[in-house]
């Protein structure tokens, strides 16, 4: 399968590290010009220096209006938008205050809506575009230790389906990707938080999967590149008939035939 994104411009939010960086690298390898996004100019510059390909620095906190404007100034037009930015963390449900609920919604949901609203009209006018939302198994299997995070990922499934209807018949596809438990630096901290910081990483990972994610059919954490492979495919012309979908890259974690 040959994926060629030459001539396409992409923006991946939260792409200085983790899943976002893997997605950006995958799109760049396929020939796209890729906007690298993070809150600070320094982290974005380091990521651009670290990666290969046709890259554009697009710093800005897209959970805020002024940060979003900075990104739009750097990349006024894109063909591929990957809404990857997200925060997560364990917290007892009854201890999550109003400000924290709002923060999670602002970062994980409203930032993606804001960028979709900015870029979708141009895609529809040009008759081609790809918008993706990086959701999570937590959208379907709400984790007891972070229901505020799960709520935002459920919201992304609804947002994705709704904007796909808005783009119907235009040549623009809109999808969400349900990522399963994935190995990133942030997840390593999360795993150690739950199973103990004294355990070596491999032992901690096995304990985490056994205790907290036993439904996984992979029985291991997914690597960021495995998520990126699906995103790159969905961004390509080969995925022209896939829209309004919640596509699973969850290692079989969600125990259902459909999401």
Residues whose CB is less than 8 angstroms from the CB of residue 29 and which lie 6 or more positions away in sequence, other chains included: 52, 53
**Dist CA 174 CA 179 (whole Å):** 16
- Adjacent-strand bridge partners of 12: 36, 82
Would the CA dihedral through 189, 194, 197, 199 be positive or negative? negative
**Dist CA 66 CA 168 (whole Å):** 30
Three-state DSSP class for residue 12 = strand
Instruction: Of 189, 127, 126, 133, give the one whose Cα is nearest residue 160.
Output: 133
Residue 111 parent element (H or E): helix 111-126
> Phi-psi bin for 32: left (phi > 0), alpha (psi -120 to 50), beta?
beta
* Measured CA angle at 202 (ends 196, 204), to 5 deg: 20
Q: Is 149 one of the catalytic residues?
A: yes
**Dist CA 35 CA 47 (whole Å):** 11
Name the catalytic one among 104, 119, 133, 149: 149
Burial of 173 (0-12, 13-18, 19+ CB in 10 A): buried
Q: Which residues are catalytic?
A: 149
């Amino acid at each position: 399968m040959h994926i060629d994104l030459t001539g396409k411009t992409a923006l991946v939010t939260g792409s200085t590290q983790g899943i976002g960086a893997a997605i950006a690298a995958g799109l760049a390898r396929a020939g796209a010009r890729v906007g690298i996004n993070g809150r600070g100019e320094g982290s974005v510059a380091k990521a651009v220096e670290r990666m290969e390909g046709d890259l554009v620095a697009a710093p800005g906190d897209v959970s805020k209006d002024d940060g979003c404007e900075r990104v739009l100034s750097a990349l006024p037009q894109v063909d591929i938008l990957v809404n990857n930015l997200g925060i997560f963390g364990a917290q007892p449900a009854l201890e999550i205050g109003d400000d924290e609920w709002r923060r999670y919604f602002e970062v994980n949901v409203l930032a993606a809506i804001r960028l979709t609203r900015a870029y979708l009209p141009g895609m529809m006018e040009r008759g081609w575009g790809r918008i993706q939302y990086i959701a999570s198994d937590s959208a379907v299997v709400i984790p007891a230790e972070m229901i505020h995070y799960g709520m935002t990922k459920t919201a992304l499934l609804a947002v994705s389906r709704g904007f796909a209807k808005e783009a119907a018949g235009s040549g623009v596809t809109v999808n969400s990707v349900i990522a399963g438990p994935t190995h990133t630096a942030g997840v390593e901290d999360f795993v150690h938080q739950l199973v103990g910081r004294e355990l070596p990483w491999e032992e901690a990972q096995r304990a985490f999967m056994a205790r907290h994610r036993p439904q996984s059919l992979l029985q291991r954490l997914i690597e960021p590149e495995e998520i990126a492979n699906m995103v790159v495919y969905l961004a390509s012309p080969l995925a022209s008939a896939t829209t309004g979908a919640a596509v699973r890259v969850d290692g079989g974690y969600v125990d259902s035939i459909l999401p």
